[in-house]
Amino acid sequence: MANLNKVMLMGNLTRDIRLTYLPSNTPVAEFGIATNRTWVGQDGQKHEEATLVELRMFDKRAEVLNKYLHKGDPLFVEGRLHLDSWDDKQTGQKRSKTVVMVEDFQFLGRAGGGAPREGGPGPAAGAAPRRPAAAAAAPADASSEAPPPADDYNTDVQPPEPENDNIPF
């Protein structure tokens, strides 16, 4: 049986990105987006619904997201669903939540003009971001004033065109 786990979402960040580092110095960005849906019901009334989604991204591109995005900014993401599960230390019960593991993203237009944030967000509630000294001391690139083109982050590889156009299906 074939399997597919693919998520595509477009929405606005619900909070500033929380950037942390694993013991291996791998960057991890955790953030949320809200997707909005508007419809007219049978009663003729306009209805709105917001869905809040938790997301996680790893590696260098997590740092790129953290550098250029702020709460409220629009973003398009592609990824896969992942179920986190753990034992709650306070209650002893098994807990779980579904997150989207972001594999690709695209910046969308915004009013801020794309300037990187100055020094990143403040510490998250109860926890300060962990940043290794080597990454903190990295020189700033003068060309990083605006977000890089989305094509720089497109990792999708297109398959070659078939040589024979007489495909029977």
Q: What is the CATH number of the domain that holds 52?
A: 2.40.50.140
pLDDT of residue 116: 58
The CA R_g of the chain, rounded to the nearest whole Å, is: 20
Is 63 exposed, middle or buried, given 0-12, 13-18 or 19+ CB atoms closer than 10 A? buried
Task: Per-residue pLDDT tens, the chain, 169 aa: give them.
Answer: 889 999 999 999 999 999 999 999 999 999 999 999 999 999 999 999 999 999 999 999 999 999 999 999 999 999 999 999 988 888 889 999 999 999 999 999 865 555 555 544 443 333 333 343 333 333 344 333 444 444 444 444 444 454 555 555 4
Is residue 82 situated within a structural domain? yes
96 in any annotated domain: yes
Q: Which amino acid is located at 107 in the chain?
A: F
pLDDT of residue 110: 63
Q: Which of 59, 109, 77, 61 is nearest to 9 (CA)?
A: 77
pLDDT score for 1: 83
**pLDDT of 92:** 87
Would 152 be classed as within a structural domain? no
Look at residue 52 and tell me if it is in a domain: yes
Residue 26 forms part of a structural domain:
yes
pLDDT of residue 115: 54
Does 145 map to a domain?
no
Number of domains in the chain: 1
Is residue 54 in some structural domain? yes
Supply the pLDDT for residue 166.
54
Structural domain boundaries enclosing 123: 7-127
